Amino acid sequence: MIERLLSEVAGRRGDLIELTRKLIAIPTLNPPGDNYREICEFLRARLQRSGFATELLRAEGAPADSERYPRWNLIARREGIAPGECVHFNSHTDVVAVGSDWTVDPFGGEIRDGRIFGRGACDMKGGLAASIIAAEAFIACSPDYRGAIEISGTADEESGGYGGVAWLAERGYFSPPRVHHVIIPEPLNKNRICLGHRGLWWAELEISGRIAHGSMPFLGDCAVRHMSATIAEMEESLFPKLAERRTEMPVVPEGARQSTLNINSIHGGEPEPAKEYSGYPASCVPDRCRIVLDRRFLAEEPIDEVKNEIRSLVRKVAARRQGFEWELRDFYDVDPVLTDRQAPVAQAVDSAIERVLGCSPDYVVSPGTYDQKHIDRIGKLKNCIAYGPGVLDLAHQPDEWIGIDDMVDSAGVMALAIAALLREH
């Protein structure tokens, strides 16, 4: 059975390549959210031919959903001959901006040296294509399976997933009794099982001062100086402390196996002049300064402590500076997610990797969040992992590519995992 299934997958190599190239050719750039309908229609036609029932769902009312840029999602489901559990593969269909320095057409799907090039090749149209081939190969081998297989193509992962997985999870699409096992084919490498991600807290710190003529700064209060004192304090006492805080979570790369803080942006004083304005600035003492904070935290750190640490740092600086007024605005936070290694979906992929690649998998945790957060928090489904072909470092880079052999191997792993999960029930 295993040999037959793997040869079914291997026999679909040409199909896998063509499917990946066709997905890359649909430029689903987000923002703004281009061509979601087109890619969903394409997936719908493909999966209907393979016997899937499909639902095309627009995330009406979700952030960024509009008449001009509707957030379309596709859910495809194929029932077996008897009721049972459902294995779901979830891929996001959006890709990030192309950027510069490409040497190939970003939507051309060029093939060279066993690789397919294009924006989204590894993140994550190659993984989506591999999961479709895996499901089709399994169905061809075991048409009489029990349970159900689902494949979804969802919007907006690159901008938080609110018009995709979050919206669907709120409507029960990622919870039992509909779905029991979820695999997200993000590019974590064909021999790695990703159990989750670190936590995240986004916030904005605004410090206000008092505007005055720049020739008499003593009549005003410079918010930029207050902010620079705050950042100096962070350099002095916060960054070294965060670097020392190590986690038991197997985060990759190694540098992310600690707490981190990124100062995402800084803005002080009057807004930047319009591009058409060719004159000089006016002389003012800046009366406000803002920074946006991107704090990534560990399973060992309670979110309240993460927030209090920043608050007390700012309070400490404020106490020694006259006129220092500040406000810390929470944008949002996401708890760390860590699926149990013994979860059935992790175990099924573990054995499948062993069979296909002849080695045991590495268990890893992602430095950044992805759609698993919504499946965990909203769907309340803990039996979820990320597993897919591709090298994470290539994501969002120029000349992004996916290895064809890696896709075939991953599709083999996915097919064996479906077989294991649906056979046992």
Residues serving a catalytic function are 94, 157
| Closer by beta carbon to Zn ion, 124 or else 291 | 124
The piece of 26-34, 94-102, 121-129, 201-209 that touches Zn ion (CB under 5 A) is 121-129
| Side chain identity, residue 334 | V
**What is the smallest separation between the CB atom of 383 and Zn ion, expressed in angstroms?**
20
The correct pick among 8, 123, 156, 409 for binding Zn ion (CB under 5 A) is: 123
The piece of 25-33, 118-126, 171-179, 314-322 that touches Zn ion (CB under 5 A) is 118-126
| Closer by beta carbon to Zn ion, 186 or else 221 | 186
The correct pick among 124, 148, 356, 375 for binding Zn ion (CB under 5 A) is: 124
- Gyration radius from the chain CA atoms: 24
For the chain, report the end-to-end CA distance as a whole number of angstroms. Answer: 17
| Closer by beta carbon to Zn ion, 124 or else 155 | 124
Question: Rule CB under 5 A: is residue 400 a binding residue for Zn ion?
Answer: no
Size of the site for Zn ion (CB under 5 A): 3
> Residues 66-91, buried b or exposed e (16+ Cβ, 10 A)?
eeebbbbbbbbbbbbeeebbbbbbbb
**What is the smallest separation between the CB atom of 391 and Zn ion, expressed in angstroms?**
13
Question: Rule CB under 5 A: is residue 110 a binding residue for Zn ion?
Answer: no
Question: Rule CB under 5 A: is residue 94 a binding residue for Zn ion?
Answer: no
CA-to-CA dists, residue 66 to 34, 49, 61, 165, 231, angstroms: 12, 30, 8, 17, 39
The piece of 30-38, 71-79, 184-192, 265-273 that touches Zn ion (CB under 5 A) is 184-192
| Closer by beta carbon to Zn ion, 186 or else 376 | 186
Beta strands in 155-287 (DSSP E): 181-184, 192-197, 199-208, 260-268
| Closer by beta carbon to Zn ion, 179 or else 184 | 184
Token pair 């704090």 is found at 295
Instruction: Kindly state the tokens that stand for 237.
Output: 């006492």
**What is the smallest separation between the CB atom of 186 and Zn ion, expressed in angstroms?**
5
**Partners of residue 364 on adjacent β-strands:** 194
CA-to-CA dists, residue 186 to 289, 367, 391, 392, angstroms: 38, 13, 9, 8
Beta strands in 303-359 (DSSP E): 325-334, 337-338
Question: Rule CB under 5 A: is residue 386 a binding residue for Zn ion?
Answer: no
Question: Rule CB under 5 A: is residue 293 a binding residue for Zn ion?
Answer: no
The piece of 185-193, 213-221, 247-255, 350-358 that touches Zn ion (CB under 5 A) is 185-193
CA-to-CA dists, residue 290 to 144, 223, 234, 311, angstroms: 60, 9, 15, 15
Binding residues vs Zn ion (CB under 5 A): 123-124, 186
